[in-house]
Structure 1
Amino acid sequence: GKMDVQCPSCHALHWAAEKLSKSSISHPMFGTCCKSGKVELPMLQNPPQELQHLFDGTDYESKHFLDNIRSYNSAFAFVSLGLKVQPHNDPNLPTTGPRQYKIKGALWHAMGSLLPETGKDPVYAQLYIVAPETALEQRLANNA
């Protein structure tokens, strides 16, 4: 089906099957987006002017960025999010629902080499740049 049922609190789109069982189709409530209005996020700030220009500009650099945005996004699909998680005792963060973290300090992306070290088998993203048969053989060997 279509994802066309709007949360009355935050206006996120959902499938009808995602509504809470205690709600009806005519008055749906959802717990996965804003916990039925209990979570409110502030409006996003405007991005830096240089980044906004890449989206709104009409010059070559902007056109190149928009033409290749999926490639840029894919490049980050193979990175790991790095941060130091410290236990928190914040009573304002809910204990149910999706995990929430407060991040203090630096947040970084860790990206490994696209080529395996000499004498080592390819792993993770390295398997995506070899022939499909080779990748399958390596995955099967990793499971042995």
Structure 2
Amino acid sequence: MSTDFAAGIVSSAWAYPALEVLHLSGVALLLGNLVLLEMRVFGWGVGLPARDLARLALPLAVIGFGLAAVSGLLMFSTQAAELIANRAFTFKMLLLMLAACNAGWFHGRSSLDKLDALARVQMVLSTLIWLAVLGCGRWIAYV
């Protein structure tokens, strides 16, 4: 990304705040849908088949992740050197990779079909990882 583009974001009165709103909206869309799936894995809403819920929730979670990723990348471009040196940011990126690995493991073993104890452990791990991502994201400004 060119530095002129990043400078344009910084110099604009509305661009960076708008990116923050898009970032938070994406996170809300992602996590809101993951919570719905987690509730189903833990036995809530047993009348709703897990696969049917996943067909609705997962595409919305992916859209939320995409929105958060694109807006996050644009915000990153405005202060890349500072963020790379920020421990909270670095830990957030590590946690995002861990979240992706956990999601791959969850779907790779067909945990939505099994809904077993391991699926519940994976969902608890997912929730804890995402809460830590949120905490690190908020903490970036204070480190």
User: TM-score scaled by structure 1?
Assistant: 0.20
Larger Rg over CA atoms: 1
User: TM-score scaled by structure 2?
Assistant: 0.20
Q: Which has the higher strand share?
A: 1
Q: Which has the higher helix share?
A: 2
